[in-house]
Copies of this chain bind each other. A is one copy, B any other.
Amino acid sequence: MARLVLKFGGTSVANIDRIRNAARHVKRELEAGHQVAVVVSAMSGVTNQLVDYCKQASSLYDQKEYDAVVASGEQVTSGLMAIVLQEMGFDARSWQGWQIPLRTNDAHGSARIQEIDGSRLIEAISGGQVAVIAGFQGIAPGDRIATLGRGGSDTSAVAIAAAIKADRCDIYTDVDGVYTTDPRIVPKARRLDRVAFEEMLEMASLGAKVLQVRSVELAMQYKVRTFVRSSFDDPDSVGVDSHGNPPGTLICDEDEIVEAEVVTGIAASKDEAQISLRRVADRPGVAASVFGPLAAESINVDMIIQITSPDGATTDITFTVPAIDHERAIKVLEATREKIGHFGIESSTDVVKVSVIGLGMRSHAGVAAEAFRALASKSINIRAITTSEIKISVLIDAPYTELAVRTLHSAYGLDKQ
C-alpha cells in the first residue's frame, strides 16, 4: 500500500470524457490498494477565458479579484472529477484551497504556499475516500482566495504530496516524460527514465516546459519523488519498460540514480534579452552602479561579461535579463547615466540561451570544451557563457537555436540509437 498524489493538467481534463479517462488511472491505483489524492487543473481553455474576462473588465484589474474569478476553473473540475469517481463506485469528495486549508502569502496572482494542513486530507484518504483537490489555489491572509500563478497546479500537487507524506506524486500530462531535449527540435531525443532533482531544476528553469520550476524546487526541498507520465496512456493496459515501470520519467534524489550521466539533457530558453553597455567610464564601483539599480527593481541579471576597451579608459559590459524585463531594464539603465556618465546601450531579444545539463559534470573534466568545439565546428558564435556545477550555458543568436541543440545533443552521445 502506498500513498499517491495524481495530478491531471488542463488537456487531461478538457471535457467529461477526458475526466473519465483520467479517473480510470485513479481507479487502477485504488484497485491496487493505494491511498489516492487527486489534484486537478481547470479544463483547458477555461483559465484563458476567465483571464480574458478580467482584462475586459479592466486593464489594471485587482489581483485579489482576478484570483476569485480564475480559481473557479479548478473548482469546477474538482467537483466534476469527484462526481465521475463516485459514478465509478468510489468514495470521493472535492476540496477547495480554503477547505484544506492550503495557506498562501498575500502575493495575489502568483502567491506562494506558506502552510498546508494535511490532517483533514490524510484523515479522508486513510478512510478510503479519494480527495479531489482543486489545484492552483489557496487561501491568503484575510480569508481571500489566492492563486499560485500559471502552471501552479504542479506546485499544488507537489506541495500536497509533501503535506500528506505521499510516497510519490504522479504528474499526468500531455507528454510521456522528460526527454534529453525537446523532441520537436531533435527527433532523436530520448526519454529519460530518471532525472535528479537538481538536473530537473536546471532543465525546468532553462525552458523544458514539462514541469513548473517552483514545483521542482518544492519536490527537491521535500524530496517528493515525482513521476511524469502521459494521461493519454490506456489506463488499463499500460506498456511497461524493462524495469517494470510504466513509460515516464521519475524525478528523484540523486541517490536513486545508480550511475549519473555526464550530460543528461540539452535545454534552450528563448526568454532572454542581451544588453550591452558601451564605453562605460572604467572606475572602481562602476559595476555596482550599473547592477545595483537593476537589483533594486528585482530584475534578475545573468551572464555578465566585462571587457576593458583598448584605450583602458572605458569598459564594455554585456549581460542578459529575462526578456519580460527587457524594457524595464533599459529604463533603469538610462536613469543611471546621470550618476555614472554617458554610455551607449545596445540590446537584443533575438538571442537564445542553450544549456548542457548533467550531474556527472561535477566529476568529469572537459565537458565545456566539448561544447565550444562542437558549436565552433558549425560556425555558431558564442556571445556569452555561464557555468554552474552541473550546467554550461551559452548565449547564441536565435536563428541558430535548433542547429546548436542538435549539434550538442549528438556531441554528448544523447541521440537515440
Contacts and interface: CB of A to CB of B under 8 A. Distances in A.
B16 A56 contact: yes
Given A57-B87, A58-B87, A79 B65 contact: yes
A43 to B, nearest CB: 9
B83 A61 contact: yes
A154 to B, nearest CB: 22
Interface residues on A, range: 35 or more
A75 B78 contact: no
A314 interface: no
Contact of A76 (B16, B72, B80, B96): B72
A68 interface: yes
Nearest to A78: B68
Given A83-B62, A145-B96, A68 B75 contact: yes
B76 A93 contact: no
A178 to B, nearest CB: 32
Interface string A85-96: 011000001101
B75 A94 contact: no
Nearest to A71: B75
Interface in A16-59: 16, 19-20, 50, 53-54, 56-58
Given A53-B16, A72-B72, A80-B54, A86 B98 contact: no
A58 B76 contact: no
A69 B65 contact: no
Interface in A334-376: none
Contacts of A99: 143-144
A179 interface: no
B69 A86 contact: no
Given A19-B57, A96-B145, A145-B96, A76 B50 contact: yes
> Which residue, of A58, A75, A83, has the highest number of chain B Cβ atoms within 10 A?
A83
Q: How many copies of the shown chain assemble into the complex?
A: 2
A68 B71 CA distance: 12
A270 interface: no
A394 B75 CA distance: 47
A82 interface: yes
A107 to B, nearest CB: 17
> Which residue, of A67, A82, A143, has the highest number of chain B Cβ atoms within 10 A?
A82
A259 to B, nearest CB: 47
A87 B62 CA distance: 9
Contacts of A57: 16, 19-20, 80, 83-84, 87
A172 interface: no
A319 interface: no
Contacts of A143: 99
A64 interface: yes
Interface string A132-163: 00000000000111000000000000000000
A8 interface: no
Contacts of A16: 53, 56-57
Nearest to A75: B72
Given A94-B68, A96-B68, A58 B75 contact: no
A72 B68 CA distance: 9
B87 A79 contact: no
Contacts of A60: 87
9 contacts: A16-B56, A54-B83, A61-B83, A62-B86, A65-B80, A68-B82, A68-B96, A69-B76, A69-B80
Given A19-B57, A58-B84, 9 more contacts: A57-B80, A57-B84, A62-B83, A65-B93, A68-B94, A68-B96, A71-B75, A72-B76, A99-B143
Interface of A: 16, 19-20, 50, 53-54, 56-58, 60-62, 64-69, 71-73, 75-76, 78-80, 82-84, 86-87, 93-94, 96, 98-99, 143-145
